[in-house]
């Protein structure tokens, strides 16, 4: 049957084991020169941390102050080390996965820069084309005026103007071709940039984080960094909390057993002494002790105090029913249900 304390201890073990694995692996990567030794050391420290917090919780009120202070500080430092190891492990895993998208982001920036340069070149050529078109219009007007005022010697001027007009047309045509070619290059770069961006957004490894980054308008690295920090802040502290919760439940169970009222006293075989006169056979005084007088009809009080009940009764008397048993010095009764019941019987009888 799955009980709450079993579920808690199982969950605490799973979370603590996962945290230990991430932390130990992260520390091993940090000290790659002696990775195995560092991982063994980190594993021992993880176990020591769990044992320390359990010990502190159970015996906080009675352990010496110096030991309490050191173990508390050590546990806090170990929690910080574990969290740092987890952060390093997750950051390394993200860096491995995000290497390709980051390279693709860099490619997008390069493509956008190249497209911007081509835009500027297109704008310059377009402005030049506009100037040529304007000059061509002026040249056409000049030729029309010369034709209208045709006189002797004006034919040479008209031919020169027409040659200039044809040169402007060739220049304009060449500029237009260059503009078209540059525009095609720019459009190709932008298309490639958009395709690369779609590949990044649809990447199954970091697609979710990319959507979040785009939604809140922050860089992808920032989103992942804060997400890892949130995991670190709840990972190892949660495992410690569950370990403490398990210790709390065990202590509560122990207290409830000690303070539970006797509801089934009838089922516990309690010792009830029978009258001494009906149980003791008459014996000679010499067989008991030399200074005890002979037992007649009833034993004297001195005789009763010196009787060894283990020799009188058929069944051996339990240790806790001995009249000389010291309940304060001998702690065996605290884990013996029959002794606990008998102690309550005595306490109730005294009251």
Which of 149-158, 183-192, 315-324 is modeled with the greatest confidence?
Answer: 183-192
Residue 299: is its pLDDT beyond 80?
Answer: no
Q: What is the pLDDT of residue 66?
A: 92
What are the tens digits of pLDDT across the range 50-80?
Answer: 899 989 988 888 889 999 999 999 999 998 8
Helix (H, G, I), strand (E, B) or coil at 282: coil
Residue-averaged pLDDT of the chain: 77
What are the two backbone dihedrals, phi and then psi, of residue 318, each rounded to the nearest 5 degrees? -60, 150
User: Which segment of 79-93, 166-180, 209-223 scores lowest on mean pLDDT?
Assistant: 209-223
Query: What count of other Cβ atoms lies within 10 Å of the Cβ of residue 299?
Result: 20
Rg, the chain, Cα only: 49
- What would the mean pLDDT of 6-19 be, rounded to a whole number? 86
Which pair of tokens denotes residue 132? 């040529």
Judge residue 97's burial from the number of C-beta atoms within 10 Å of its C-beta, 0-12 exposed, 13-18 middle, 19 or more buried.
middle
Judge residue 164's burial from the number of C-beta atoms within 10 Å of its C-beta, 0-12 exposed, 13-18 middle, 19 or more buried.
middle
Q: What percentage of the chain carries pLDDT values higher than 70?
A: 77
Give the Cα separation of 42 and 49 in Å (integer): 10
Helix (H, G, I), strand (E, B) or coil at 38: helix
- Give the residue with greater pLDDT, 39 vs 304: 39
Tokens 């030399």 map to which residue? 290
Give the Cα separation of 198 and 120 in Å (integer): 26
- Give the residue with greater pLDDT, 131 vs 144: 131
Contact (Cβ atoms closer than 8 angstroms) between residue 28 and residue 88: no
Tokens 């492990």 map to which residue? 89
Give the Cα separation of 70 and 19 in Å (integer): 23
DSSP 8-state symbol, 274: P
- What would the mean pLDDT of 142-165 be, rounded to a whole number? 72
Query: What count of other Cβ atoms lies within 10 Å of the Cβ of residue 261?
Result: 6
Confidence of residue 297 (pLDDT cuts 50, 70, 90): very low
Which pair of tokens denotes residue 114? 């190249």
DSSP 8-state symbol, 151: -
Residue spans of the domains in the chain: they are 4-103+218-254, 111-216, 261-350
Strands, E assignment, the chain: none
What are the tens digits of pLDDT across the range 259-278?
Answer: 655 554 445 455 555 554 44
Contact (Cβ atoms closer than 8 angstroms) between residue 332 and residue 342: no
- What would the mean pLDDT of 282-306 be, rounded to a whole number? 47
Give the Cα separation of 274 and 270 in Å (integer): 12
Q: What is the pLDDT of residue 69?
A: 92
- What would the mean pLDDT of 288-296 be, rounded to a whole number? 44
Contact (Cβ atoms closer than 8 angstroms) between residue 93 and residue 209: no
Q: What is the pLDDT of residue 5?
A: 74
What are the two backbone dihedrals, phi and then psi, of residue 72, each rounded to the nearest 5 degrees? -65, -50
Give the Cα separation of 120 and 99 in Å (integer): 32
What are the tens digits of pLDDT across the range 85-143?
Answer: 888 888 888 887 777 777 777 888 898 898 899 999 899 989 888 888 888 787 777 77
Confidence of residue 333 (pLDDT cuts 50, 70, 90): confident
């Amino acid at each position: 049957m799955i009980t709450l304390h079993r579920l808690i201890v199982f969950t605490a073990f799973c979370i603590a084991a996962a945290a230990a694995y991430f932390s130990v692996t992260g520390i091993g990567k940090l000290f790659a020169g002696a990775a195995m030794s560092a991982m063994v050391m980190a594993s021992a420290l993880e176990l020591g941390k769990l044992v320390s917090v359990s010990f502190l919780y159970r015996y906080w009120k009675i352990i010496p102050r110096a030991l309490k202070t050191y173990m508390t500080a050590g546990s806090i430092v170990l929690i910080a080390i574990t969290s740092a190891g987890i952060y390093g492990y997750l950051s390394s895993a993200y860096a491995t996965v995000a290497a390709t998208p980051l390279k693709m982001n860099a490619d997008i920036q390069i493509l956008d820069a190249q497209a911007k340069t081509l835009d500027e070149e297109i704008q310059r050529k377009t402005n030049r084309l506009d100037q040529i078109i304007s000059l061509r219009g002026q040249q056409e007007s000049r030729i029309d005026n010369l034709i209208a005022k045709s006189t002797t010697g004006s034919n040479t001027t008209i031919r020169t103007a027409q040659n200039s007009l044809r040169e402007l047309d060739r220049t304009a045509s060449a500029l237009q071709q260059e503009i078209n070619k540059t525009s095609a290059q720019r459009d190709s770069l932008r298309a490639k940039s958009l395709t690369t961006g779609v590949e990044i957004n649809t990447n199954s490894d970091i697609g979710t984080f990319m959507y979040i980054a785009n939604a809140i308008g922050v860089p992808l690295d920032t989103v992942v960094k804060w997400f890892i920090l949130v995991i670190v802040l709840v990972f190892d502290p949660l495992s410690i909390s569950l370990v403490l919760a398990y210790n709390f439940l065990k202590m509560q169970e122990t207290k409830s057993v000690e303070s539970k009222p006797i509801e089934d006293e009838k089922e516990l075989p309690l010792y009830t002494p029978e009258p001494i006169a009906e149980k003791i056979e008459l014996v000679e005084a010499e067989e008991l002790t030399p200074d005890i007088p002979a037992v007649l009809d009833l034993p004297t009080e001195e005789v009763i105090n010196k009787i060894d009940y283990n020799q009188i009764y058929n069944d051996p008397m339990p240790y806790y029913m001995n009249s000389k048993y010291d309940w304060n010095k001998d702690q065996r009764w605290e884990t013996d249900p029959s002794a606990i019941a008998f102690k309550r019987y005595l306490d109730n009888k005294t009251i």
